[in-house]
Chain A
Amino acid sequence: MAATKASKEQKYDRQLRLWGDHGQESLESAHVCLINATATGTEILKNLVLPGIGAFTIVDGHTVSGEDVGNNLNLIFWVLMVDPLDFNRAQAATELLQELNSDVSGNFVEESPNKLLDNNPEFFNRFTIVIGVQLPESTCLRLDSVLWSASVPFLVCKSYGLIGYMRLVVQEHSVIESHPDNALEDLRLNQPFAELKNHIQSYDLDSMDKKDHSHTPWIIIVAKHLERWLSEHNLQPPKNYKEKEAFRQFIREGIRKKENGVPEDEENFEEAIKNVNTALNPTKIPSTVEDLFNSEECNDVTSQTPSFWVMLRAVKEFALNEGNGSLPVRGTIPDMIADSQKFINLQNVYREKAMQDAAAVSKHVECLLQSIGKYIANRRCRCLGKNSSFLRVVRCRSLAEEYSVDTVNKDEITSSMDNPDSEMVFYLMLRSVDRFYQQHSRYPGKAKVYTALSLINVRLCIHPLCYDDCRYGAAEPHTVAAFLGGSAAQEAIKIISHQFVPFNNTFIYNAMSQTSATLQL
């Protein structure tokens, strides 16, 4: 048991550094459904099996064709072993994907999704996420309806020639750990909390010896100078460029000088000057979080309310009370030039405040849960407090809304078409190809017959694109399948782990120009 745990930690080491042990646990509890083991489908699943999802089930009623084999490593292997080219694609793909990771359990159902929906519509409710690949429009819409009611996230993927397409359908997806790339520091210098104030107070820059002076953290240096500035400027912090420059100069004057008047080499002061902008960032609740605070789910908490909203409400209560209009303190500070003790002491001031705030949030959670008669097991209030500025909720429209004539997002489509380089044109192409298939039960150009296509209510001269459609003839080149395979797998991992932020809601990749676009349709 211990041996397997250790080797799993080693095997997954490189990814554990991205989503942590708790992220890995959520992956290992997930059961992913893939509909259609085409090249794209198996590429997506490969990138989910390798990181160790708990289980997958492939739903596919197709038998293997020669075309399939050319494109799919897994199936090629199978073909070598078994002679007749007439076995089920789902089975073939399952056997080989299993091989990639013995921790994952694979299953297959030799049935078309339409049949399953006819006979057992609740079949899909058991999955953490359903990924549908190269599905016709009608099947997509049927699945959309079932999965939307069951609140199961649905990811639609398509490779068509050199175009890749993904559509995420999820009613509401909450993210606490969004891991933003360039987060602003939470230093509270414009409104220092009591413990921080006291700590700053404990420093007397003028009476320090040379060594201490040049090893004082820049946060203290800025705080001290800010105090003086405020008292001399009617309690107004530096606001525009001119004032900030003056403030920087003011700090520079604080650098000790040698006997001959030449300034000492005080790197910590240089750091303070460099970080003035960061330091002067006002402490504010981000608009994304404000919007969440103002939403119905947050304000109307009942026993049916999902945990995330209960937690969010608790944060809001904190902000309105103990927080004095601010979110819980994050508790981290960047590294800076300082001696060990000064740095650790300062860091601890922030850390302890963060812990205090998290405890206050936890109390609010407790109160809320009591009042609505609900229980939440793993609250992770420390994590919530630390990430309170970065909370995100993603809501994607259903396919029904996208496709319906009444609710189609005409504005987004027509405004995108103003830009000749927009990828929107490929979205329209794919929709028209789907329509063609719906009407003719085959894709244009597949049998080397070039036919004209009818388009959906949009009058455009895009004949070159129709021509290109036909040229592709529903080809699924491997490199496009592989690109989509990586992209879709990572979006699925985001859905499963609730870490990092999924796209909303349509992604188009153009391998010809190596460009992409995200559209909200």
Chain B
Amino acid sequence: MADAEEPEKKRRRIEDVTEKMAVDGGHRDGGCDWDGRWNHVTKFLERPGPFTHPDFEPSTESLQFLLETCTVLVIGAGGLGCELLKDLALSGFRLIHVVDMDTIDLSNLNRQFLFRPKDVGRPKAEVAADFINSRIPGCKVVPHFKKIQDFDDSFYRQFHIIVCGLDSIIARRWMNGMLISLLSYEDGVLDPSSIIPLIDGGTEGFKGNARVVLPGMTACIDCTLELYPPQINFPMCTIASMPRLPEHCIEYARILQWPKDKPFGETSLDGDNPEHIQWVFERAQERAAQFNITGVTYRLTQGVVKRIIPAVASTNAVIAAACATEVFKIATSAYIPLNNYLVFNDVDGLYTYTFEAERKENCSACSQVPQDLQFPSSAKLQDVLEYLTENASLQMKSPAITTTLEGKNKTLYLQSVKSIEERTRPNLCKTLKELGLSDGQELAVADVTTPQTVLFKLNFTT
């Protein structure tokens, strides 16, 4: 769809959409401003310029909307989240919600500057909100110490713009799916007022990216899933019998020894518990000694067990700033928003690359067409399950497959509930034909990566 359009047309469509963002009424009491407070911001909103959005009309109303009506949701109050909250508050946004399910850890303090040593253990969302609310007059940040999945569409619908500073691809995909589910179509035409722009930022060490997603219009998170390389998991045979790296020894202690030795009773391994890490570290050292492997350190152990990604204040500051700039642009229509992906890397000098990620025609999240599943009728359900998890464009985590047989809803396989897993496990070894599935049959698949089920259509190759 996007491929066929000329750049000019595409540009206009994006401008149209940002123009028609629903601006609901509701007058708020400002009250805490002083002379010159918003000078920096008004210079953009009250003066025309040659690079502004074609539909932009300089006025005091833009500032008004920003200050009194525009409601923004920030997802994550960590490295990116703290920066985002500050950036938005200082750009004039006053109605901000923030969601984060975590509590503050000492290792956060090298970059999550809304937190102090005394806050360790408290919920990030709450401390962040307190800080901003108490120090920036007029700003009202509402915290939610919750998972994003704890909310449904009625919650998300209230926001004009959503900006994510997440550290999980699964969570991103879920958010992406949620906003896609909010889209409404009239006679097959997308209603622009149902679009909630999603600004997504991510960082890792000295690298980062920022992107603008207009659900239903531009490339969504799932359209570019291949950009995220799959997580490194060492093969079990290496861990179990052929370790070569210190990491293999650590994984051995974590995956094989812990469940066997149960060093702290039935408690599962908690990466944040220093005693647990110490135990894994010692076992890993023993194993390493057996195989003459050097390099097992406490720091490495913690890094492997917790899958730690190195992080510094500077990269988070840069990416959050880029995201906040986009939120500002979209909220005010003052400039054409980023279209649509920015990559940043400051390992060697400073490098940025901006490009337009393209929509995938058959994207499992946003293309609205049932996904094609090509299998011989003699294939086993296990084969389908593997495809759903291993395929680079799907990367599902623990898909639950259901279908309609003889007018009734039937669960073919579900992993997340033990009793159902046990009951449906035998189905994995059965062929699709044996399970009573026919050519063209629709399968509904649910997974943590999406709030809505994904529809697949079976195509028998033989």
Determine whether the beta carbon of B50 is less than 8 Å from that of A489. Answer: no
Closest residue of chain B to A43 (Cβ to Cβ) is: B317
B302 proximity list for chain A (CB < 8 A) = 13
Which of the residues A14, A18, A467, A479 comes within 8 Å of B321, measured between beta carbons? A479
Determine whether the beta carbon of A486 is less than 8 Å from that of B325. Answer: no
Interface residues of B in 39-72 (CB under 8 A from A): 39-41, 43-44, 47-51
Evaluate whether A493 and B314 lie within 8 angstroms (CB atoms) in the complex, with A14-B308, A487-B350 already known: yes
A323 CB, nearest partner CB in chain B, Å: 26
Q: Please report the C-alpha to C-alpha distance between residue A430 and residue B244 in the assembled complex, in whole angstroms.
A: 56
Evaluate whether A487 and B40 lie within 8 angstroms (CB atoms) in the complex, with A46-B313, A482-B87 already known: no
Q: Please report the C-alpha to C-alpha distance between residue A2 and residue B113 in the assembled complex, in whole angstroms.
A: 25
A102 proximity list for chain B (CB < 8 A) = 117
Interface residues of A in 329-384 (CB under 8 A from B): 335-341, 343-344, 347
Interface residues of A in 484-521 (CB under 8 A from B): 485-487, 489-491, 493, 500-504, 507, 509, 511-516, 518
Q: Does B169 contact A (CB under 8 A)?
A: no
Determine whether the beta carbon of A340 is less than 8 Å from that of B206. Answer: no
Interface residues of A in 74-95 (CB under 8 A from B): 76-77, 80, 85
Determine whether the beta carbon of B303 is less than 8 Å from that of A17. Answer: yes
Q: Please report the C-alpha to C-alpha distance between residue A321 and residue B242 in the assembled complex, in whole angstroms.
A: 39
Q: Does B125 contact A (CB under 8 A)?
A: no
Evaluate whether A479 and B313 lie within 8 angstroms (CB atoms) in the complex, with A69-B34, A70-B40 already known: no
Q: Does B17 contact A (CB under 8 A)?
A: no
A11 proximity list for chain B (CB < 8 A) = 106-107, 109-110
B350 CB, nearest partner CB in chain A, Å: 5
Q: Does A181 contact B (CB under 8 A)?
A: yes
Q: Does A179 contact B (CB under 8 A)?
A: yes
Q: Does B292 contact A (CB under 8 A)?
A: yes
Which of the residues A73, A215, A467, A491 comes within 8 Å of B242, measured between beta carbons? A215
Which of the residues B47, B244, B338, B354 comes within 8 Å of A343, measured between beta carbons? B244
Determine whether the beta carbon of A514 is less than 8 Å from that of B135. Answer: no
Q: Please report the C-alpha to C-alpha distance between residue A72 and residue B86 in the assembled complex, in whole angstroms.
A: 9
Determine whether the beta carbon of B40 is less than 8 Å from that of A67. Answer: yes
Q: Please report the C-alpha to C-alpha distance between residue A67 and residue B311 in the assembled complex, in whole angstroms.
A: 33
A244 CB, nearest partner CB in chain B, Å: 26
Closest residue of chain A to B238 (Cβ to Cβ) is: A337
Determine whether the beta carbon of A179 is less than 8 Å from that of B354. Answer: no
A30 proximity list for chain B (CB < 8 A) = none
Determine whether the beta carbon of B347 is less than 8 Å from that of A472. Answer: no
Q: Does A473 contact B (CB under 8 A)?
A: yes
B322 proximity list for chain A (CB < 8 A) = 479, 483, 511, 514
A444 CB, nearest partner CB in chain B, Å: 12
Closest residue of chain A to B340 (Cβ to Cβ) is: A514
Determine whether the beta carbon of B106 is less than 8 Å from that of A14. Answer: no
Q: How many residues of B contact A (CB 8 A)?
A: 76
A518 proximity list for chain B (CB < 8 A) = 349-350
Q: Does B374 contact A (CB under 8 A)?
A: no
A41 CB, nearest partner CB in chain B, Å: 14
Q: Please report the C-alpha to C-alpha distance between residue A372 and residue B90 in the assembled complex, in whole angstroms.
A: 57
Q: Does B73 contact A (CB under 8 A)?
A: no
Q: Please report the C-alpha to C-alpha distance between residue A178 and residue B348 in the assembled complex, in whole angstroms.
A: 8
B228-271 CB mask vs A (1 if < 8 Å, else 0) is: 00000000001000111100000000000000000000000000
Determine whether the beta carbon of B40 is less than 8 Å from that of A344. Answer: no
Q: Does B310 contact A (CB under 8 A)?
A: yes
Which of the residues A50, A65, A161 comes within 8 Å of B110, measured between beta carbons? A50
Q: Does A100 contact B (CB under 8 A)?
A: yes
Q: Does A254 contact B (CB under 8 A)?
A: no
B13 CB, nearest partner CB in chain A, Å: 19
Determine whether the beta carbon of A512 is less than 8 Å from that of B205. Answer: no
Which of the residues B41, B48, B137 comes within 8 Å of A80, measured between beta carbons? B137
Q: Does B342 contact A (CB under 8 A)?
A: yes
Determine whether the beta carbon of A489 is less than 8 Å from that of B314. Answer: yes
Interface residues of A in 32-68 (CB under 8 A from B): 39, 43, 46-47, 50-52, 65-67
Determine whether the beta carbon of A472 is less than 8 Å from that of B43. Answer: yes
B205 proximity list for chain A (CB < 8 A) = 18
Q: Please report the C-alpha to C-alpha distance between residue A343 and residue B292 in the assembled complex, in whole angstroms.
A: 10
A341 proximity list for chain B (CB < 8 A) = 291-292
Q: Does A465 contact B (CB under 8 A)?
A: yes
Determine whether the beta carbon of B50 is less than 8 Å from that of A18. Answer: no
Evaluate whether A482 and B320 lie within 8 angstroms (CB atoms) in the complex, with A15-B110, A46-B113, A340-B244 already known: yes
A483 proximity list for chain B (CB < 8 A) = 317-318, 321-322, 325
Closest residue of chain B to A465 (Cβ to Cβ) is: B50
Which of the residues A14, A101, A335, A516 comes within 8 Å of B245, measured between beta carbons? A335
A27 CB, nearest partner CB in chain B, Å: 11
Closest residue of chain A to B42 (Cβ to Cβ) is: A475
Determine whether the beta carbon of A344 is less than 8 Å from that of B291. Answer: yes
Determine whether the beta carbon of A66 is less than 8 Å from that of B34. Answer: yes
Q: Please report the C-alpha to C-alpha distance between residue A49 and residue B83 in the assembled complex, in whole angstroms.
A: 15
Which of B51, B117, B310, B354 has the most chain A CB atoms closer than 10 A to its own CB? B51
B9-22 CB mask vs A (1 if < 8 Å, else 0) is: 00000000000000
Which of the residues A18, A180, A476, A478 comes within 8 Å of B91, measured between beta carbons? A478
B117 proximity list for chain A (CB < 8 A) = 102
Q: Does B299 contact A (CB under 8 A)?
A: yes
Determine whether the beta carbon of B244 is less than 8 Å from that of A338. Answer: yes
A468 proximity list for chain B (CB < 8 A) = 49-51
A339 proximity list for chain B (CB < 8 A) = 242
Determine whether the beta carbon of A179 is less than 8 Å from that of B347. Answer: yes
Determine whether the beta carbon of B348 is less than 8 Å from that of A501. Answer: yes
Determine whether the beta carbon of B352 is less than 8 Å from that of A515. Answer: yes
B314 proximity list for chain A (CB < 8 A) = 47, 486-487, 489-490, 493
Q: Please report the C-alpha to C-alpha distance between residue A446 and residue B10 in the assembled complex, in whole angstroms.
A: 36
Q: Does A471 contact B (CB under 8 A)?
A: yes
A237 proximity list for chain B (CB < 8 A) = none
Q: Please report the C-alpha to C-alpha distance between residue A70 and residue B350 in the assembled complex, in whole angstroms.
A: 29
A427 proximity list for chain B (CB < 8 A) = none
A71 CB, nearest partner CB in chain B, Å: 5
Determine whether the beta carbon of A18 is less than 8 Å from that of B110. Answer: no
Determine whether the beta carbon of B113 is less than 8 Å from that of A100. Answer: yes
A448 CB, nearest partner CB in chain B, Å: 8
Which of the residues B113, B293, B349 comes within 8 Å of A50, measured between beta carbons? B113
A–B complex contacts, Cβ < 8 Å, 20 sampled? A47-B314, A65-B36, A67-B39, A70-B39, A77-B135, A180-B347, A181-B345, A336-B244, A344-B292, A475-B43, A477-B44, A477-B91, A478-B90, A479-B91, A479-B328, A482-B86, A482-B317, A487-B318, A501-B349, A514-B352
Contacts beyond the supplied A14-B312, A482-B320, A507-B349: 14 A-B pairs with Cβ under 8 Å: A11-B109, A18-B310, A50-B109, A52-B110, A66-B36, A67-B40, A73-B89, A467-B50, A478-B324, A479-B324, A479-B325, A480-B321, A486-B318, A516-B350
Residues of B within 8 A of A (CB): 34-41, 43-44, 47-51, 83, 86-87, 89-91, 106-107, 109-111, 113, 116-117, 135-137, 205-206, 210, 238, 242-245, 291-293, 299, 302-303, 308-322, 324-326, 328, 335, 338, 342, 345-350, 352, 354
The 4 closest A-B pairs by CB, nearest first: A486-B317, A66-B36, A464-B50, A486-B318
